[in-house]
């Protein structure tokens, strides 16, 4: 037998079956079920031959692996099979050596583990095993987060962002959507803060990020906000509003326009201090026809624009105005070494971590 030919074939077969399981197909589930049934059978045979070496509690291993890899149906088949094996094993051992409290506690433990595992599998709304359902959600989040990656900018321009979620969770209510026009001249970015914190706002932010990602670049700023506002009103979420700030910049002339929907005021670095932008507006998802205010300006070399969410400036003992004043002071110190890494230096200065936080900085560097 030529091992050089057999090995790639075997590896390819295993890899193919793994990919089928990872996509949640029935064939992939059957393969995993067969493997776990084979392992359970081997444990069953081993327990009949040498029970002290393979006690009944050993069956917990394939059962736990099944809870991580199988849907409810195949998992139920595995659980029933293991229950039959355990019953036979304990019966044979009892007939040989008699019943004792240890075997009774083992049976009770296995029954409880099986019930918990089946109950957890039954209540999974995705219908997928835990790791697959989580992987699907994480992949969706990663794809939507990719919309927030600022496209490559021409020489003389620099964009950076930093974010932290409440409690360090993977999902947050703050997100960024960015787009550069087909001719490369205009950069468009939206920083959004969905009401709520951490995981509680994570699913809502995923939906809104997908909607905005499909609209950015296709509608003018006011039309984009109006569409997002209508979308939030249709969702009828219990806390279905969001603040947002939109900026579009001409990368040739430096002209920009800022549109705000209930978002904390943007800051502009003029080379000496951070000036507070005057764009204001009503948060999205509150009124059928909200009013938005926008400001315009020109970003010169050595100047920057900073956008952030309320988690940066608001605390229990500090309102928005005091928070903005604090941020201006902190950001003035943070920009002293240069704009590179500015967003991270600012977000690291935030004293509280009980709210989602995000900072976006767009700079026009000297050439």
The DSSP annotation for 248-276 comes to: EEETTT-EEEEEEEBPPPPEEE-SSSEEE
Sheet order of strands, 303-308 included: 157-164, 357-364, 303-308, 267-269, 274-276
pLDDT of 115 reads 82
Distance CA 203, CA 115 (A): 29
Residue 285, sorted as left (phi over 0), alpha (psi -120 to 50) or beta, turns out to be left
What are 147-162's pLDDT values in tens digits?
667 889 999 999 999 8
Residues 6+ apart with CB under 8 A from 70: 29, 32, 33, 36, 78, 121, 129
Q: Between vectors from CA 64 to CA 59 and to CA 67, what angle results, nearest 5°?
A: 130
Token output for 42: 């081997």
Supply the pLDDT for residue 32: 85
Per residue in 184-232, pLDDT (tens digit) is 999 999 999 888 655 556 677 778 888 888 888 889 999 999 999 998 8
Q: How far is CA 238 from CA 201, 202, 233, in A?
A: 11, 14, 11
Tens-digit pLDDT profile for residues 190-200: 999 888 655 55
Calculate the alpha carbon distances from 350 to 4, 170, 179, 271 in Å.
Answer: 58, 19, 28, 23
Output the tens digit of pLDDT for each of the chain's 367 residues.
454 554 455 555 455 554 555 555 677 788 888 999 999 999 999 988 888 888 888 898 998 888 888 888 888 899 889 888 888 888 887 777 766 666 677 777 777 888 887 877 776 655 556 665 555 556 656 665 666 678 899 999 999 998 887 765 566 678 889 999 999 999 999 999 888 655 556 677 778 888 888 888 889 999 999 999 998 888 877 777 899 999 999 999 999 999 999 999 999 999 899 999 999 889 999 888 888 888 999 999 999 999 999 889 987 777 788 999 999 999 999 999 999 999 999 999 988 777 888 999 999 987 6
Tell me whether strands 174-180 and 255-261 are parallel, antiparallel or unpaired.
unpaired
Cα-based angle 292, 302, 327 (whole degrees, multiple of 5): 55
Helix (H, G, I), strand (E, B) or coil at 163: strand
Q: What is the pLDDT, as a whole number, of residue 294? A: 87
Give the strands of the sheet with 174-180, arranged side by side.
174-180, 186-194, 242-250, 255-261, 293-298
What pLDDT, on a 0 to 100 scale, did the predictor assign at position 199?
58
Position 208 scores a pLDDT of: 83
Alpha carbons 346 and 332: distance in angstroms, whole number: 10
Domain range annotation of the chain? 3-134, 148-364
Sign of CA pseudo-dihedral 311, 322, 337, 304: positive
The answer to whether 269 and 306 are in contact (CB under 8 A) is yes
Three-class DSSP category at 126: coil
Q: How many CB atoms are located within 10 Å of the residue 133 CB? A: 15
Give the separation between CA 97 and CA 120, rounded to whole angstroms. Answer: 36
- The pLDDT of residue 157 is 95
Classified by CATH at the fold level, domain 148-364 comes out as Phosphatase 2c; domain 1 (3.60.40)
Q: Which helix (H) or strand (E) holds 92?
A: helix 72-97
């Amino acid at each position: 037998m030529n091992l050089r030919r057999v090995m790639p074939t075997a590896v390819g077969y295993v890899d193919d079956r793994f990919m089928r399981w990872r996509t949640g197909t029935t064939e992939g589930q059957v393969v995993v079920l067969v493997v776990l049934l084979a392992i359970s059978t081997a444990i069953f045979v081993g327990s009949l031959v040498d029970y002290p070496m393979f006690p009944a509690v050993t069956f917990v291993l394939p059962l736990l692996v099944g809870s991580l890899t199988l849907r409810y149906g195949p998992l139920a088949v595995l659980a029933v099979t293991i229950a039959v094996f355990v019953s036979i094993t304990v019966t044979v051992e009892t007939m040989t050596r008699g019943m004792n409290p240890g075997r009774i506690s083992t049976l009770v433990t296995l029954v409880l583990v099986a019930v918990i595992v089946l109950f957890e599998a039954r209540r999974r709304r995705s219908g997928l095993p835990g790791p697959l359902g989580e992987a699907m959600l994480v992949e969706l989040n990663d794809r939507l987060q990719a919309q927030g990656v600022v496209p490559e900018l021409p020489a003389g321009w620099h964009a950076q962002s930093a974010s932290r979620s409440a409690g360090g969770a993977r999902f947050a209510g703050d997100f960024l959507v960015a787009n550069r026009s087909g001719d490369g001249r205009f950069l468009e970015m939206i920083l959004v803060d969905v009401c709520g914190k951490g995981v509680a706002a994570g699913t809502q932010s995923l939906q809104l990020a997908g909607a905005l990602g499909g609209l950015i670049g296709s509608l003018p700023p006011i039309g984009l906000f109006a569409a997002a506002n209508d979308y939030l009103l249709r969702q009828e979420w219990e806390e279905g509003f969001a603040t947002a700030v939109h900026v579009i910049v001409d990368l040739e002339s430096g002209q920009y326009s800022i549109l705000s929907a209930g978002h904390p005021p943007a800051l502009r670095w003029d080379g000496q201090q951070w000036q507070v932008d005057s764009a204001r507006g009503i948060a999205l998802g509150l009124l059928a026809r909200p009013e938005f205010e926008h400001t315009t300006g020109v970003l010169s070399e050595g100047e920057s624009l900073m956008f952030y969410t309320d988690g940066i400036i608001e605390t229990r003992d500090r309102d928005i105005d005091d928070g903005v004043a604090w941020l201006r002071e902190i950001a003035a110190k943070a920009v002293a070494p240069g704009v590179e890494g500015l967003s991270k230096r600012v977000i690291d200065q935030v004293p509280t971590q009980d709210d989602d936080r995000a900072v976006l900085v767009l700079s026009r560097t000297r050439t």
